Structure formats: structure tokens, C-alpha cells
Amino acid sequence: MRAIAGALLLVSLTPAARAHHSAAMFDSTRTATIEGTVERYEWANPHVYLHVASSSGTWLIEAGSPSMMQRAGWSRESFAVGDVVSVDVNPARAGERMARGIAVRAGDTVLAFRGEAPGERRAAVPATGLGGNWLPSPEPKFQPFVAAPTAWSLTPKAVEALGRYDSANNPGVDCVALQAPFQMVWTDLKNIEIDGTIVVLRSALNVGVERIVHLDRTTHDGAAFTNDGHSIGRFENGALVVDTRNFSDHPAGNRDGVPSGAQKHLVERFELSPDRTTLTYRFVLEDPEYLAAPFEGSATWVHRPDLEYTAEKCDLTNARRFLEGL
């Protein structure tokens, strides 16, 4: 096992990304320990997987995305075929030998499947501007997008869509990325690059999203409809204000189970804190076809120059693998 040694980080298990599939497929009330050797190690989006050959057969053990696992101390080189491991897991409710990992041990080395590796977090570092690497704070600001939709005012069309939504048919199985603002509050690493007349907003989750914000345009006229929409921006007293329209239709574009349509309109604001170690991300989301009233939210992004931004491409086989456990 090629890994950074460290004590087991005790963390509460958070739900896997409902944008891809539901954590309900795993039984969090049951734990098991699988002992064997690494048969295959997948470092891919949307999930890192360990294939562990044991006396009972080969187990498929799910971890988070590469961006999330990097913060837990993992890397592309953490495991090699033949490594002897012991893995604590929550088994799947259905399907054979599938599980969600809790912690993995090899000799005296222990790595958690969730959270941040001990010693990985460094002291707060002020940013020189909005550019750089940012990590949404652990506070689950994404919960309104995946929990019961009590905070949302939905149209009858949205209520009907939510009632028939099945995670097995969500767009993640086809490597279709989340749309903003959900994409922007999810706790994967973000990167902002300011380059002349454009700002690039990157999200590592699933497919390595790159949103282009045009600073030299004032309208959306003539722009194509895309999954990320068409964004125009301006600076107001140092804060970046982004106006996005022309989103293509998405079966879960507003929140888990609620589609978005051609009328979707998003206004976002990115503003540095006084000490420049965090930025506040605020948004107002409108979509009259599915939302009976605008939905507003915010998240705090922490400046993380110590983390390397990488975005693995979404692997279609990997994205569809959870269907085996349904």
C-alpha cells in the first residue's frame, strides 16, 4: 500500500452524492470487515473503487470522488495490485459483495474513506484575490438539494417530476454533470481563474466542470443552450457577480429529482471575507416552469492553496456500476 501513514480519522459518514446515487443502497446499521488483497484500484470519477479479493470472493468497495479522497489522504498511487488490506465497510442492502468503505488498513497504515486526513489541513492562508483553489466548508449547504424539499416552493409540474424520480435514472449514470448552483455548493474542490475578459469556474466533481464567465458581454443574445448555461459577469467593489441563462433541460437541474428548463435563471455573487481566507458564495435561482418562487442560498468557501486541483474524467462504466447494487 503506497499511502501516507496516519491515525484513523474518526468521522461521521455523510450520504454519498445523491446527484449520482443514493447512500440508501448501503446499510449504515451494519458493519463488516473484509480481509484480502487488492485486485484492482480505480482512481476515477464519480467514485474511487477498491476491488478486494477475499475468501468469500471479490468485493467492490466504494469510496468518494478523487477530489474527496485526496483530502482524506489518498492518491492515485495509494494502492497497488497485491496489497494486503483489511477494510471496514457498510455492506449493500442488495446485490452481492458490494459495500461502502469506512476505513482501510495495511499493516500500521490506516486511511479513512471520508473526511480529511490528520495534519492535511494547514493554517488559514489569505488569498490575493478570487483566483485560486477553494473548498466549500464542511457545513452541508448541499442538504437542501438532496433532503426532503420542504424549503422549496415547487410548481405542480415539479411535484409530479419529483414523485416519479428514480435515482437509477438520474443523469449521473450518463456522466451528465450537476448544474449550478447545486454544483457550486457541493464539497468538491473548486478553482477560479481570472484571465483577461473571462473568468473560469471549475468544479472537480464527476466530470471536471469548467464554466466560462464572459466579462466583456452584457447580454445572452445568440448564446447556445448548454448544461452550464451562458454566463456574463461583472465586478462590484471586488465581488464577482455572475448572471447565467440558457441552461439546457436537465432532469435534476434544480435539485435532486426536480428538473430545470429553458427559463432557468441564476444570479451568483462571489465575495472575499475581510481577512481574505474565505469567500461567500450566494445565489438566487429562478425557474418558473418548476419553481413557484425563487430559491436563495449561500455557502462559505475556504481558501485551500495547499490542495492540488485535478479533475478526472467521468468513467461511464464506473458511473453505472451502482446499478448492480439496486
**Residue 60 DSSP SS3:** strand
In this model, does residue 36 exceed pLDDT 50?
yes
The cell for 274 is 475581510
* Length, in residues, of the chain: 326
The rounded mean pLDDT for the chain is: 87
The cell for 90 is 457498510
In angstroms, the CA 179 to CA 193 distance is 19
In this model, does residue 204 exceed pLDDT 60?
yes
1 compared with 75, residue with greater pLDDT = 75
Contacts 24+ apart (CB under 8 A), 231-234: 233/199
In this model, does residue 126 exceed pLDDT 90?
yes
pLDDT score of 246: 98
In this model, does residue 119 exceed pLDDT 70?
no
Are 300 and 140 in contact, with CB atoms under 8 Å apart? no
The model carries a pTM of 0.83
In angstroms, the CA 227 to CA 141 distance is 22
The model's confidence at residue 6, banded by pLDDT at 50, 70 and 90, is: very low
Instruction: Dump pLDDT digits (tens) for 60-82.
Output: 999 988 888 888 889 999 999 99
Instruction: Dump pLDDT digits (tens) for 10-20.
Output: 222 233 344 45
Q: What is the mean pLDDT of residues 113-138?
A: 82
Alpha helices in 6-135 (DSSP H): 66-71
141 compared with 220, residue with greater pLDDT = 220
Burial of 89 (0-12, 13-18, 19+ CB in 10 A): buried
Q: For the ranges 131-140, 162-171, 296-305, which has the lowest average pLDDT?
A: 162-171
Report all structural domains of the chain as residue ranges with CATH numbers, in order of start.
23-118 (2.40.50.140), 132-303 (2.40.128.20)
pLDDT score of 118: 59
167 compared with 301, residue with greater pLDDT = 301
In angstroms, the CA 323 to CA 224 distance is 33
Give the E-state strand segments of 64-131 in sequence order.
Answer: 84-91, 98-106, 109-112
Q: What is the mean pLDDT of residues 24-45?
A: 91
